Amino acid sequence: MNQPLTHFDAQGQAHMVDVGSKDITHRVAVASGHIRMQPATLALITSGTAKKGDVLGIARIAAIQGAKRTADLVPLCHPLPITRVAVEFHVDEAGSTVQVVATVETVGRTGVEMEALTAVQVGLLTIYDMCKAADRGMVMGEIRVLEKHGGKSGDWSVTR
């Protein structure tokens, strides 16, 4: 029987998959997610960025550092030489959310979706942490891979 979950061998034992014979190619992944909060909380962030307390600047740094910790956090991830991380925030005042979009690149043997997702998660956690004194009910969601390029499976993007 075929094992569609590649992180398990034929006996169902977890392993770190062999990527030694995969090609070294340029690989890119983009992931995003958002955090929904009270409008008053969002106002603290948006005014803060301009003058007092740069929540998003700090969350960006945490997200970039988070990408570098991926293989430490996700048990079966391969360590990867990340060559670029960029993190953007989009404030949606109508929906009262901040969206995080992380782009990670490598020139390596395996993809960087997990690094991009980890950057998003750590960025969101940091926003939560910095605003939680004002708003404990914030909710994080819509965390997903948006697109990926490079490697044998080629280009993929979410159907929107």
Site for its own copies in 1-40 (CB under 8 A): 3-9, 11-20, 26, 33
Q: Are strands 82-92 and 156-157 parallel, antiparallel or unpaired?
A: unpaired
N-to-C CA span, the chain: 34
Say how far apart CA 19 and CA 28 lie, in whole Å.
Answer: 17
* Site for its own copies contains 101 (CB under 8 A): no
User: Which one-letter DSSP state was computed for residue 52?
Assistant: S
Task: Tell me which amino acid residue 133 is.
Answer: A
Say how far apart CA 68 and CA 81 lie, in whole Å.
Answer: 9
Say how far apart CA 144 and CA 124 lie, in whole Å.
Answer: 13
Site string for its own copies, 60-99 (x = CB under 8 A): xxx-xxxxxx-xxxxxxxxxxxxxxxxxx-----------
42 is annotated as contributing to ligand binding: no
Which element (helix H / strand E) includes 117?
Answer: helix 113-131
Q: Work out which of 38, 46, 99, 109 binds its own copies, going by CB under 8 A.
A: 109
* Site for its own copies contains 130 (CB under 8 A): yes
Q: Work out which of 30, 98, 101, 122 binds its own copies, going by CB under 8 A.
A: 122
Q: Work out which of 101, 131, 149, 151 binds its own copies, going by CB under 8 A.
A: 131
Residue of 9, 23, 72, 129 marked active site: 129
Minimal distance, residue 19 CB to its own copies, in Å: 5
Site for its own copies in 134-153 (CB under 8 A): 134, 136-145, 148
* Site for its own copies contains 52 (CB under 8 A): yes
- In sequence order, which residues have a C-beta less than 8 Å from that of residue 1 and are 6 or more positions away? none
In the residue annotation, 135 being an active-site residue is answered as no
Catalytic residues: 129
Numbered residues of the known binding site: 76-78, 114-115
